[in-house]
Chain A
Amino acid sequence: MYKIKLDQFEGPLDLLLFFIKRDELNIYDIPISRITKEFLEYVNLIKLLDLEVAGDFILMASTLMHIKVRMLLPREFDEKGEEIDPRAELVKALLEYKRYKEVTEELAYYESNQRKMSFRGNFSADEKVAVPEYDILLKNVTVYDLAKTFKHVLDNFKEEPVHEIKRLNVSIEEQISFILSKIEEAEEINFLNLVNEIKEKIRIIVTFIAILELVKMSKIKIKESANFNDFMILKGDYIG
Protein backbone atom coordinates (compact mmCIF):
# COMPACT_ATOMS: atom_id res chain seq x y z
CA MET A 1 0.00 0.00 0.00
CA TYR A 2 0.99 3.57 -0.57
CA LYS A 3 2.73 5.27 2.28
CA ILE A 4 1.44 8.81 2.32
CA LYS A 5 2.87 11.40 4.59
CA LEU A 6 -0.14 12.77 6.35
CA ASP A 7 0.67 16.41 6.70
CA GLN A 8 1.49 16.57 3.03
CA PHE A 9 -2.10 17.35 2.16
CA GLU A 10 -3.80 20.56 3.02
CA GLY A 11 -7.24 19.07 2.69
CA PRO A 12 -9.48 16.77 0.73
CA LEU A 13 -9.26 18.86 -2.44
CA ASP A 14 -5.50 18.78 -2.25
CA LEU A 15 -5.56 15.02 -1.87
CA LEU A 16 -7.90 14.63 -4.83
CA LEU A 17 -5.65 16.80 -6.98
CA PHE A 18 -2.75 14.62 -5.91
CA PHE A 19 -4.55 11.46 -7.03
CA ILE A 20 -5.49 13.11 -10.30
CA LYS A 21 -1.94 14.24 -10.97
CA ARG A 22 -0.31 11.02 -9.84
CA ASP A 23 -2.46 8.80 -12.00
CA GLU A 24 -2.64 11.31 -14.84
CA LEU A 25 -6.37 11.37 -14.62
CA ASN A 26 -8.47 13.85 -16.45
CA ILE A 27 -9.96 16.40 -14.15
CA TYR A 28 -13.05 16.62 -16.36
CA ASP A 29 -13.55 12.91 -16.43
CA ILE A 30 -12.68 11.70 -12.97
CA PRO A 31 -13.17 7.96 -12.57
CA ILE A 32 -15.35 8.44 -9.53
CA SER A 33 -15.52 4.90 -8.22
CA ARG A 34 -11.78 4.43 -8.38
CA ILE A 35 -10.97 7.73 -6.77
CA THR A 36 -13.62 7.17 -4.09
CA LYS A 37 -12.00 3.89 -3.19
CA GLU A 38 -8.56 5.41 -2.90
CA PHE A 39 -9.92 8.34 -1.01
CA LEU A 40 -11.65 6.10 1.51
CA GLU A 41 -8.47 4.16 2.13
CA TYR A 42 -6.74 7.37 2.97
CA VAL A 43 -9.60 8.54 5.17
CA ASN A 44 -9.46 5.31 7.16
CA LEU A 45 -5.83 6.01 7.75
CA ILE A 46 -6.29 9.53 9.05
CA LYS A 47 -9.39 8.68 11.04
CA LEU A 48 -7.09 6.87 13.38
CA LEU A 49 -4.81 9.81 13.73
CA ASP A 50 -6.54 13.11 13.60
CA LEU A 51 -10.24 13.31 14.10
CA GLU A 52 -10.57 17.02 13.54
CA VAL A 53 -8.98 16.90 10.13
CA ALA A 54 -10.70 13.63 9.35
CA GLY A 55 -14.06 15.40 9.48
CA ASP A 56 -13.35 17.37 6.33
CA PHE A 57 -12.07 14.27 4.59
CA ILE A 58 -15.10 12.25 5.59
CA LEU A 59 -17.33 15.00 4.24
CA MET A 60 -15.52 14.77 0.92
CA ALA A 61 -15.73 10.99 0.99
CA SER A 62 -19.49 11.19 1.36
CA THR A 63 -19.65 13.77 -1.44
CA LEU A 64 -17.71 11.36 -3.64
CA MET A 65 -20.04 8.51 -2.79
CA HIS A 66 -23.01 10.73 -3.48
CA ILE A 67 -21.61 11.55 -6.90
CA LYS A 68 -20.88 7.89 -7.48
CA VAL A 69 -24.51 7.02 -6.79
CA ARG A 70 -25.74 9.79 -9.03
CA MET A 71 -23.48 8.53 -11.80
CA LEU A 72 -25.32 5.22 -11.69
CA LEU A 73 -28.71 6.85 -11.98
CA PRO A 74 -30.08 8.11 -15.27
CA ARG A 75 -28.64 11.53 -15.98
CA GLU A 76 -30.59 14.63 -15.05
CA PHE A 77 -31.03 17.44 -17.51
CA ASP A 78 -30.89 21.18 -16.95
CA GLU A 79 -33.32 23.78 -18.35
CA LYS A 80 -31.43 23.84 -21.61
CA GLY A 81 -31.90 20.15 -21.95
CA GLU A 82 -28.21 19.44 -21.46
CA GLU A 83 -27.03 16.54 -19.42
CA ILE A 84 -25.88 17.43 -15.92
CA ASP A 85 -22.64 15.75 -15.01
CA PRO A 86 -22.87 14.88 -11.32
CA ARG A 87 -19.17 15.60 -11.13
CA ALA A 88 -19.44 19.15 -12.46
CA GLU A 89 -19.54 20.85 -9.09
CA LEU A 90 -16.62 18.87 -7.76
CA VAL A 91 -14.62 19.68 -10.88
CA LYS A 92 -15.40 23.35 -10.40
CA ALA A 93 -14.27 23.24 -6.79
CA LEU A 94 -11.09 21.40 -7.79
CA LEU A 95 -10.26 23.94 -10.47
CA GLU A 96 -10.93 26.87 -8.16
CA TYR A 97 -8.69 25.30 -5.56
CA LYS A 98 -6.03 24.61 -8.19
CA ARG A 99 -6.00 28.28 -9.15
CA TYR A 100 -4.98 29.30 -5.67
CA LYS A 101 -2.63 26.41 -5.23
CA GLU A 102 -0.70 27.60 -8.27
CA VAL A 103 -0.42 31.07 -6.80
CA THR A 104 0.69 29.54 -3.53
CA GLU A 105 3.83 28.28 -5.24
CA GLU A 106 4.59 31.74 -6.50
CA LEU A 107 4.00 33.24 -3.09
CA ALA A 108 6.42 30.72 -1.61
CA TYR A 109 8.98 31.91 -4.15
CA TYR A 110 8.35 35.56 -3.24
CA GLU A 111 8.69 34.60 0.39
CA SER A 112 12.05 32.93 0.01
CA ASN A 113 13.25 35.83 -2.10
CA GLN A 114 12.23 38.41 0.44
CA ARG A 115 13.73 36.45 3.28
CA LYS A 116 17.14 36.98 1.75
CA MET A 117 16.86 40.71 2.21
CA SER A 118 17.06 42.25 5.63
CA PHE A 119 15.24 45.47 6.27
CA ARG A 120 16.63 48.37 8.15
CA GLY A 121 15.82 47.98 11.79
CA ASN A 122 15.78 44.25 11.31
CA PHE A 123 17.77 43.58 14.43
CA SER A 124 15.50 45.61 16.62
CA ALA A 125 12.76 43.15 15.84
CA ASP A 126 14.95 40.48 17.36
CA GLU A 127 13.86 39.30 20.71
CA LYS A 128 16.97 39.81 22.75
CA VAL A 129 15.25 38.63 25.86
CA ALA A 130 12.25 36.39 25.81
CA VAL A 131 10.08 39.18 27.17
CA PRO A 132 7.56 40.48 24.66
CA GLU A 133 7.64 44.19 23.95
CA TYR A 134 4.30 45.35 25.11
CA ASP A 135 4.00 48.58 23.14
CA ILE A 136 4.77 46.69 19.94
CA LEU A 137 2.21 44.09 20.81
CA LEU A 138 -0.36 46.75 21.46
CA LYS A 139 0.33 48.65 18.28
CA ASN A 140 -1.96 46.64 16.10
CA VAL A 141 -4.69 45.84 18.54
CA THR A 142 -8.10 46.44 17.04
CA VAL A 143 -11.45 46.73 18.72
CA TYR A 144 -12.08 43.12 17.66
CA ASP A 145 -9.05 41.95 19.60
CA LEU A 146 -10.36 43.71 22.66
CA ALA A 147 -13.82 42.25 22.19
CA LYS A 148 -12.35 38.81 21.68
CA THR A 149 -10.23 39.02 24.80
CA PHE A 150 -13.12 40.36 26.80
CA LYS A 151 -15.29 37.46 25.70
CA HIS A 152 -12.50 35.04 26.50
CA VAL A 153 -12.24 36.42 30.01
CA LEU A 154 -15.99 36.25 30.48
CA ASP A 155 -16.13 32.71 29.17
CA ASN A 156 -13.44 31.62 31.53
CA PHE A 157 -14.87 33.41 34.49
CA LYS A 158 -16.60 30.73 36.49
CA GLU A 159 -18.51 31.67 39.55
CA GLU A 160 -17.92 29.31 42.41
CA PRO A 161 -21.17 27.39 42.67
CA VAL A 162 -22.67 27.96 46.11
CA HIS A 163 -25.33 25.61 47.36
CA GLU A 164 -27.08 26.96 50.38
CA ILE A 165 -28.85 24.45 52.51
CA LYS A 166 -31.34 25.73 55.03
CA ARG A 167 -32.27 23.55 57.90
CA LEU A 168 -35.98 22.82 57.91
CA ASN A 169 -37.86 23.66 60.98
CA VAL A 170 -40.72 21.46 60.08
CA SER A 171 -41.45 17.86 60.88
CA ILE A 172 -44.16 15.45 59.87
CA GLU A 173 -45.27 15.16 63.50
CA GLU A 174 -45.73 18.88 63.72
CA GLN A 175 -47.83 18.96 60.61
CA ILE A 176 -49.89 15.99 61.80
CA SER A 177 -50.95 17.89 64.87
CA PHE A 178 -51.49 20.98 62.74
CA ILE A 179 -53.87 19.08 60.42
CA LEU A 180 -55.66 17.38 63.29
CA SER A 181 -56.27 20.68 65.02
CA LYS A 182 -57.61 22.18 61.82
CA ILE A 183 -60.00 19.28 61.26
CA GLU A 184 -61.10 19.41 64.88
CA GLU A 185 -62.26 22.96 64.24
CA ALA A 186 -63.93 22.48 60.89
CA GLU A 187 -64.87 18.80 60.55
CA GLU A 188 -63.71 18.91 56.96
CA ILE A 189 -61.31 21.10 55.10
CA ASN A 190 -60.04 21.61 51.55
CA PHE A 191 -56.42 20.77 50.99
CA LEU A 192 -55.90 24.06 49.15
CA ASN A 193 -57.37 25.99 52.03
CA LEU A 194 -55.21 24.07 54.40
CA VAL A 195 -51.98 24.96 52.64
CA ASN A 196 -53.07 28.41 51.66
CA GLU A 197 -51.48 30.05 54.65
CA ILE A 198 -48.28 28.12 54.34
CA LYS A 199 -45.56 30.12 52.62
CA GLU A 200 -42.69 27.69 52.08
CA LYS A 201 -42.87 25.00 49.45
CA ILE A 202 -41.18 22.45 51.66
CA ARG A 203 -43.72 22.96 54.44
CA ILE A 204 -46.50 22.24 51.93
CA ILE A 205 -44.74 19.06 50.91
CA VAL A 206 -44.30 17.96 54.50
CA THR A 207 -47.95 18.75 55.14
CA PHE A 208 -48.91 16.55 52.25
CA ILE A 209 -46.76 13.72 53.57
CA ALA A 210 -48.40 14.24 56.96
CA ILE A 211 -51.81 13.80 55.33
CA LEU A 212 -50.70 10.54 53.76
CA GLU A 213 -49.38 9.45 57.13
CA LEU A 214 -52.70 10.30 58.79
CA VAL A 215 -54.64 8.39 56.14
CA LYS A 216 -52.41 5.42 56.79
CA MET A 217 -53.11 5.69 60.49
CA SER A 218 -56.84 5.95 59.64
CA LYS A 219 -57.06 9.20 61.57
CA ILE A 220 -58.44 11.04 58.58
CA LYS A 221 -60.10 10.29 55.29
CA ILE A 222 -59.70 12.07 52.02
CA LYS A 223 -62.36 12.55 49.43
CA GLU A 224 -62.38 13.92 45.96
CA SER A 225 -63.47 17.51 45.88
CA ALA A 226 -65.87 19.09 43.40
CA ASN A 227 -62.87 21.01 42.24
CA PHE A 228 -60.71 18.34 40.63
CA ASN A 229 -57.52 20.11 41.53
CA ASP A 230 -58.29 19.75 45.18
CA PHE A 231 -59.44 17.19 47.71
CA MET A 232 -61.30 17.21 50.99
CA ILE A 233 -59.83 16.12 54.29
CA LEU A 234 -62.31 14.61 56.76
CA LYS A 235 -62.14 13.19 60.24
CA GLY A 236 -61.21 9.53 60.40
CA ASP A 237 -64.40 8.38 62.07
CA TYR A 238 -66.50 10.09 59.49
CA ILE A 239 -68.53 7.53 57.62
CA GLY A 240 -68.93 8.71 54.12
Chain B
Amino acid sequence: MDNIYQSIVEALIFSSDDVLSGSEIIKAVKGIDGDDTPITVEEIDNCINELNNKYEHSNLSFRILRIANGYLFATTKEYSKYVGYLSSEKSKRRLSQAALETLSIIAYKQPITKPEIESIRGVNSDYILNTLLEKNLIAISGRGESVGRPLLYATTPEFLKYFGLNKLNDLPKPREIEEIMNDEDFIEQKRKIMMNALEDTMENESNEDGNADQT
Protein backbone atom coordinates (compact mmCIF):
# COMPACT_ATOMS: atom_id res chain seq x y z
CA MET B 1 0.00 0.00 0.00
CA ASP B 2 1.16 3.45 -0.76
CA ASN B 3 2.54 5.51 2.04
CA ILE B 4 -0.15 7.87 3.25
CA TYR B 5 2.12 10.85 2.89
CA GLN B 6 3.21 10.02 -0.62
CA SER B 7 0.88 12.39 -2.40
CA ILE B 8 1.47 15.17 0.09
CA VAL B 9 5.21 14.87 -0.39
CA GLU B 10 4.74 14.81 -4.14
CA ALA B 11 2.54 17.91 -4.07
CA LEU B 12 4.95 19.83 -1.90
CA ILE B 13 7.97 19.02 -4.01
CA PHE B 14 6.06 19.64 -7.22
CA SER B 15 4.92 23.06 -6.13
CA SER B 16 8.40 24.14 -5.13
CA ASP B 17 10.59 25.54 -7.85
CA ASP B 18 13.74 25.11 -5.82
CA VAL B 19 15.19 22.40 -3.64
CA LEU B 20 12.78 21.47 -0.85
CA SER B 21 14.35 19.94 2.23
CA GLY B 22 12.95 17.04 4.22
CA SER B 23 12.59 19.21 7.28
CA GLU B 24 10.44 21.68 5.37
CA ILE B 25 8.16 18.86 4.26
CA ILE B 26 7.86 17.67 7.86
CA LYS B 27 7.16 21.22 8.97
CA ALA B 28 4.31 21.52 6.45
CA VAL B 29 2.76 18.17 7.36
CA LYS B 30 2.99 18.80 11.09
CA GLY B 31 1.73 22.33 10.69
CA ILE B 32 -1.48 21.06 9.14
CA ASP B 33 -2.00 17.64 10.72
CA GLY B 34 -0.68 18.49 14.17
CA ASP B 35 2.66 18.28 15.93
CA ASP B 36 2.19 14.67 16.93
CA THR B 37 1.93 13.48 13.34
CA PRO B 38 4.40 10.61 13.09
CA ILE B 39 6.36 11.56 10.00
CA THR B 40 10.09 11.08 9.73
CA VAL B 41 12.83 11.87 7.26
CA GLU B 42 13.15 8.14 6.53
CA GLU B 43 9.48 7.97 5.64
CA ILE B 44 9.83 10.87 3.27
CA ASP B 45 12.80 9.19 1.68
CA ASN B 46 10.73 6.04 1.23
CA CYS B 47 8.03 8.12 -0.39
CA ILE B 48 10.56 9.45 -2.87
CA ASN B 49 11.63 5.91 -3.76
CA GLU B 50 8.04 4.81 -4.26
CA LEU B 51 7.22 7.88 -6.29
CA ASN B 52 10.24 7.47 -8.51
CA ASN B 53 9.38 3.80 -9.03
CA LYS B 54 5.90 4.79 -10.02
CA TYR B 55 7.22 7.34 -12.52
CA GLU B 56 9.60 4.81 -13.97
CA HIS B 57 6.85 2.21 -14.37
CA SER B 58 4.63 4.68 -16.12
CA ASN B 59 7.53 5.85 -18.27
CA LEU B 60 7.16 9.43 -17.14
CA SER B 61 9.67 12.02 -18.26
CA PHE B 62 10.69 13.24 -14.81
CA ARG B 63 11.95 12.01 -11.47
CA ILE B 64 12.46 13.46 -8.03
CA LEU B 65 16.16 14.08 -7.44
CA ARG B 66 17.86 13.99 -4.09
CA ILE B 67 19.94 17.06 -4.44
CA ALA B 68 21.56 19.73 -2.24
CA ASN B 69 20.09 18.26 0.97
CA GLY B 70 16.59 18.15 -0.41
CA TYR B 71 14.31 17.16 -3.23
CA LEU B 72 13.59 18.61 -6.62
CA PHE B 73 11.73 17.53 -9.72
CA ALA B 74 13.84 17.23 -12.85
CA THR B 75 13.37 15.88 -16.33
CA THR B 76 15.20 12.71 -17.27
CA LYS B 77 18.26 12.71 -19.47
CA GLU B 78 16.46 11.38 -22.55
CA TYR B 79 14.73 14.69 -23.08
CA SER B 80 17.68 16.98 -22.42
CA LYS B 81 18.03 17.95 -26.08
CA TYR B 82 14.43 19.05 -26.42
CA VAL B 83 14.35 20.89 -23.14
CA GLY B 84 17.68 22.48 -23.87
CA TYR B 85 16.42 23.69 -27.22
CA LEU B 86 13.95 25.99 -25.57
CA SER B 87 15.95 26.84 -22.51
CA SER B 88 19.01 28.96 -22.80
CA GLU B 89 19.78 28.41 -19.12
CA LYS B 90 21.30 25.03 -19.85
CA SER B 91 23.18 26.13 -22.88
CA LYS B 92 25.31 28.29 -20.67
CA ARG B 93 28.93 27.41 -20.96
CA ARG B 94 30.39 24.61 -18.96
CA LEU B 95 32.91 25.36 -16.29
CA SER B 96 36.49 25.65 -17.40
CA GLN B 97 39.17 23.22 -16.34
CA ALA B 98 40.62 25.85 -14.06
CA ALA B 99 37.23 26.43 -12.45
CA LEU B 100 36.62 22.71 -11.89
CA GLU B 101 40.10 22.29 -10.51
CA THR B 102 39.66 25.16 -8.07
CA LEU B 103 36.21 23.93 -7.09
CA SER B 104 37.47 20.47 -6.31
CA ILE B 105 40.18 21.88 -4.06
CA ILE B 106 37.67 24.08 -2.26
CA ALA B 107 35.15 21.27 -1.99
CA TYR B 108 37.57 18.99 -0.17
CA LYS B 109 39.51 21.49 1.85
CA GLN B 110 36.80 23.94 2.79
CA PRO B 111 36.91 26.34 4.41
CA ILE B 112 40.09 27.31 2.64
CA THR B 113 41.97 30.54 2.00
CA LYS B 114 43.11 31.85 -1.34
CA PRO B 115 46.84 31.35 -0.60
CA GLU B 116 46.16 27.72 0.29
CA ILE B 117 44.30 27.20 -2.98
CA GLU B 118 47.06 28.90 -4.90
CA SER B 119 49.78 26.86 -3.29
CA ILE B 120 48.07 23.65 -4.40
CA ARG B 121 47.35 24.90 -7.90
CA GLY B 122 50.67 26.69 -8.23
CA VAL B 123 48.95 29.50 -10.02
CA ASN B 124 47.24 32.79 -9.24
CA SER B 125 43.55 32.16 -8.67
CA ASP B 126 42.03 35.61 -8.28
CA TYR B 127 40.07 35.52 -11.47
CA ILE B 128 38.77 31.99 -11.03
CA LEU B 129 37.63 32.68 -7.47
CA ASN B 130 35.75 35.74 -8.64
CA THR B 131 34.07 33.75 -11.41
CA LEU B 132 33.05 31.04 -8.97
CA LEU B 133 31.75 33.61 -6.50
CA GLU B 134 29.80 35.23 -9.29
CA LYS B 135 28.27 31.92 -10.29
CA ASN B 136 27.40 31.39 -6.63
CA LEU B 137 29.16 28.03 -6.61
CA ILE B 138 31.33 29.18 -3.73
CA ALA B 139 30.86 31.79 -1.04
CA ILE B 140 32.94 33.53 1.55
CA SER B 141 32.31 31.70 4.78
CA GLY B 142 34.32 33.88 7.13
CA ARG B 143 37.86 34.78 7.93
CA GLY B 144 40.78 32.59 8.89
CA GLU B 145 42.71 32.88 12.12
CA SER B 146 46.09 33.27 10.47
CA VAL B 147 47.95 36.53 9.91
CA GLY B 148 45.90 39.06 7.99
CA ARG B 149 42.67 37.17 8.70
CA PRO B 150 42.34 35.96 5.09
CA LEU B 151 38.90 35.26 3.64
CA LEU B 152 37.73 31.68 3.78
CA TYR B 153 35.94 30.09 0.85
CA ALA B 154 33.42 27.26 0.95
CA THR B 155 31.01 25.65 -1.49
CA THR B 156 27.33 26.62 -1.63
CA PRO B 157 24.12 24.59 -2.00
CA GLU B 158 24.21 25.80 -5.59
CA PHE B 159 27.44 23.83 -5.98
CA LEU B 160 25.69 20.62 -4.89
CA LYS B 161 22.83 21.38 -7.26
CA TYR B 162 25.15 22.06 -10.16
CA PHE B 163 26.89 18.73 -9.79
CA GLY B 164 23.77 16.80 -8.84
CA LEU B 165 25.03 15.96 -5.37
CA ASN B 166 22.91 15.53 -2.28
CA LYS B 167 25.58 16.20 0.30
CA LEU B 168 29.27 16.97 0.29
CA ASN B 169 29.99 13.40 1.33
CA ASP B 170 28.72 12.26 -2.05
CA LEU B 171 31.74 13.81 -3.72
CA PRO B 172 34.12 11.35 -5.30
CA LYS B 173 36.91 10.70 -2.84
CA PRO B 174 40.28 11.96 -3.97
CA ARG B 175 42.84 9.23 -3.84
CA GLU B 176 45.28 9.50 -1.02
CA ILE B 177 48.82 10.24 -2.05
CA GLU B 178 49.75 6.81 -0.75
CA GLU B 179 47.21 5.30 -3.11
CA ILE B 180 48.60 7.18 -6.08
CA MET B 181 51.98 5.94 -5.02
CA ASN B 182 50.76 2.37 -4.94
CA ASP B 183 49.32 2.62 -8.41
CA GLU B 184 50.46 -0.09 -10.75
CA ASP B 185 51.78 2.69 -12.92
CA PHE B 186 53.81 4.01 -10.11
CA ILE B 187 55.04 0.66 -8.92
CA GLU B 188 56.18 -0.05 -12.44
CA GLN B 189 57.82 3.35 -12.58
CA LYS B 190 59.40 2.80 -9.23
CA ARG B 191 60.91 -0.44 -10.42
CA LYS B 192 62.29 1.44 -13.40
CA ILE B 193 63.84 4.01 -11.11
CA MET B 194 65.49 1.40 -9.02
CA MET B 195 67.03 0.02 -12.17
CA ASN B 196 68.01 3.49 -13.32
CA ALA B 197 69.43 4.33 -9.93
CA LEU B 198 71.48 1.21 -10.08
CA GLU B 199 72.74 2.08 -13.52
CA ASP B 200 73.36 5.65 -12.42
CA THR B 201 75.46 4.64 -9.48
CA MET B 202 77.43 2.28 -11.67
CA GLU B 203 77.84 5.04 -14.23
CA ASN B 204 78.81 7.56 -11.57
CA GLU B 205 81.33 5.22 -10.14
CA SER B 206 82.95 4.69 -13.48
CA ASN B 207 82.85 8.47 -14.05
CA GLU B 208 84.46 9.07 -10.73
CA ASP B 209 87.12 6.60 -11.65
CA GLY B 210 87.62 8.50 -14.85
CA ASN B 211 87.84 11.80 -13.02
CA ALA B 212 90.22 10.37 -10.51
CA ASP B 213 92.44 9.32 -13.37
CA GLN B 214 92.48 12.80 -14.81
CA THR B 215 93.43 14.54 -11.60
Is B140 touching A111 in the complex (CB atoms < 8 A)? no
Most buried by B among A14, A26, A60: A26
Contact residues, A44-102 vs B (CB, 8 A): 52-53, 55-56, 60, 92-93, 95-102
Contact residues, B56-105 vs A (CB, 8 A): 65, 72-77, 79-80, 83-84, 86-90, 94-95, 97-98, 100-101, 103-105
Most buried by A among B16, B122, B156, B172: B122
Is B104 touching A107 in the complex (CB atoms < 8 A)? yes
Is B120 touching A100 in the complex (CB atoms < 8 A)? yes
Q: Which residues of A contact B104 (CB under 8 A)?
A: 100, 103-104, 107
Is A110 touching B97 in the complex (CB atoms < 8 A)? no
Q: Known: A10-B101, A28-B189, A120-B17. Is A55-B124 also a contact (CB below 8 A)?
A: yes
Is B151 touching A104 in the complex (CB atoms < 8 A)? no
| Stretch among A121-129, A165-173, A192-200, A202-210 lining the B interface | A121-129
Q: Known: A104-B104, A115-B80. Is A140-B139 also a contact (CB below 8 A)?
A: yes
User: Taking the complex as formed, is A40 at the interface, i.e. its CB lies under 8 A from any CB of chain B?
Assistant: no
Q: Known: A28-B189, A140-B136, A140-B139. Is A96-B164 also a contact (CB below 8 A)?
A: no
Q: Known: A26-B193, A101-B101, A122-B89. Is A93-B162 also a contact (CB below 8 A)?
A: no
| Docked CA distance A119–B123 (Å) | 35
| Docked CA distance A92–B139 (Å) | 29
User: Taking the complex as formed, is B198 at the interface, i.e. its CB lies under 8 A from any CB of chain A?
Assistant: no
Contact among A53, A95, A101 for B177, CB-based, below 8 A:
A95
Q: Which residues of A contact B140 (CB under 8 A)?
A: 142, 144
User: Taking the complex as formed, is A116 at the interface, i.e. its CB lies under 8 A from any CB of chain B?
Assistant: yes
Q: Which residues of B contact A27 (CB under 8 A)?
A: 186, 189
Q: Which residues of B contact A56 (CB under 8 A)?
A: 122-124
Is A29 touching B193 in the complex (CB atoms < 8 A)? yes
User: Taking the complex as formed, is A114 at the interface, i.e. its CB lies under 8 A from any CB of chain B?
Assistant: yes
Q: Known: A26-B193, A123-B87, A142-B139. Is A11-B180 also a contact (CB below 8 A)?
A: no
| Docked CA distance A93–B118 (Å) | 11
25 contacts between A and B (CB under 8 A): A11-B123, A12-B122, A12-B123, A26-B189, A26-B192, A26-B196, A56-B122, A96-B177, A98-B180, A99-B175, A99-B180, A100-B104, A100-B108, A111-B95, A115-B90, A117-B74, A117-B75, A117-B76, A117-B164, A118-B75, A119-B74, A119-B161, A120-B17, A120-B72, A121-B17
Task: Kindly list the 9 A-B residue pairs having the minimum CB-CB distance in the complex, ordered from nearest.
Answer: A121-B17, A11-B123, A114-B164, A116-B80, A116-B77, A13-B122, A120-B73, A26-B189, A117-B74
